[in-house]
Structure 1
Amino acid sequence: MTQQEVLNEELFSLEGAFADADDATKELKALYADGIVPAPVSAYLEATTPCAGKLFRPGEPIVSVHYGEGYELACLPQRYLFPIKTGMSVVISAGR
């Protein structure tokens, strides 16, 4: 087998590998829609902001989706009891 024939076989093999890689790339782009994720519900997104130098590990949440009825979470000291009922007006401050 001549050197030209060997090179032609390698070229043919590489062209096939290139076509396979191109097909895989197109399939991934279709699956991931170039990073666009359609929202299944109307919601608010809360992004997790990393500290300088922090890395997110695979599977670690980077965004939270809040949907449904809105609410405020207020943490009160355990030594006090406040009779709060649904629909009452409540004043919330940062304590300043």
Structure 2
Amino acid sequence: ILLFTVMATAFMGYVLPWGQMSFWGATVITNLLSAILYIGTTLVEWIWGGFSVDKATLTRFFAFHFILPFIITALVLVHLLFLHETGSNNPTGLNSDA
């Protein structure tokens, strides 16, 4: 989950300059989501804020780019809390106290 939210934040930051590269990058990458069965097209239209990449998309991506780092911080804190509670995994199964 952390990896995907960091990737989403980076992608939305890439789109913010709103040049030709970022416009077509937003178009191509968001269109990849249309391959999801049943909800893909609806999901893409929701992300775009309409039927194509335009000013509504840029505003939406700016809002996501601003909000996602706070969500990432919360997820990291929850991850560290769980790591502190349970400890690290020992894949070898050997006692590390020796």
Return the TM-score normalized by structure 1.
0.29
Where relative contact order (Cα < 8 A, 6+ residues apart) is larger, the structure is 2
Structure with the higher strand share, 1 or 2: 1
Return the TM-score normalized by structure 2.
0.29
Structure with the higher helix share, 1 or 2: 2
